[in-house]
Amino acid sequence: MLIKKGAEANLYLEEWHNRKVIMKRRLPKKYRIQKLDKEIRSQRTVHEPHVIHKAKEAGVPTPTIFMVDVAESNIIMEFVGGKQVKQVLNDLPPEERLRLSRHVGGLIGRLHKHGIIHGDLTTSNMILTSYGKVVFVDFGLSERSTELETRGVDIHLMKRAFQSTHYKYARECFEAVMEGYAEVVGEEEAKNVLEKIREIERRGRYVSER
């Protein structure tokens, strides 16, 4: 059953060895040269499980990978039950909302500290399980980098997600994320990332004004 149609891949909820799983299928892109398309899909199919494993090693909960089919560009992974953070954040009591945001910030800090850029940091790609664990999903756009620019872009996307989906609480939630982030990477690094985000925002305003 198709549950999410993405630009990069489709997600299907399926049964596999008597368990619910997510099948991620990278479908051919007709606008690309066939050989190049197959190469890109194969590379991404290998890359994503590798990064998910590295994130798990860094202490960030991620889905368990059960099978990787490089030839067909498919990944079978654990189905994580729960709700997207996007669905619950606005309805939480204030203290709980800030606690969850700080926790998310700490998890992002762990990723960045281990040179992992998620690439699509939104509250849609974080699952809050019934037992209170936050699981990061969809590493399809991830990369390995310790550059300040890529870290700034990663968290800038998170900030924009708050502004668009959780606009009533965007400022306080983002500040809480950065508090949690600073606890993991250190105050100095967090300040550097914040300054980079401001620079990215200035660049965006400059481009839109031209």
Does residue 139 sit in the same domain as residue 188? yes
Range of the domain at 36: 2-78
Q: What is the mean pLDDT of the chain?
A: 94
The two tokens of residue 84 are 């997207």
pLDDT for 171 beyond 80: yes
CATH code of the domain in which 126 resides = 1.10.510.10
pLDDT digits (tens, 9 = 90+) for 148-160: 999 999 999 999 9
Separation of alpha carbons 116 and 59, rounded Å: 12
**CB 140 within 8 Å of CB 8:** yes
Q: Which of 104, 88, 108 is nearest to 185 (CA)?
A: 108
Please tell me whether residues 143 and 116 are part of one structural domain. yes
pLDDT of residue 207: 47
The predicted model gives 66-94 an average pLDDT of 96
Do 72 and 89 fall into the same domain? no
What is the spatial distance between Cα 50 and Cα 25, in angstroms, rounded to a whole number?
16
Residue ending a domain, choose from 33, 59, 78: 78
Q: How confident is the model at residue 205 (pLDDT cuts 50, 70, 90)?
A: low
Inter-axis angle of helices 187-209 and 170-185, to 10 degrees?
140
What is the CB neighbour count within 10 angstroms for residue 62? 23
Tell me the CATH number at 10: 3.30.200.20
Beta strand residue intervals within the chain, DSSP E:
2-5, 10-16, 19-25, 65-69, 74-78, 83-84, 116-117, 126-128, 134-136, 143-144
What phi-psi label fits residue 178: left (phi over 0), alpha (psi between -120 and 50 degrees) or beta?
Answer: alpha
Active site residues: 120
The DSSP code for 130 is T
Among 11, 46, 78, the domain-final residue is 78
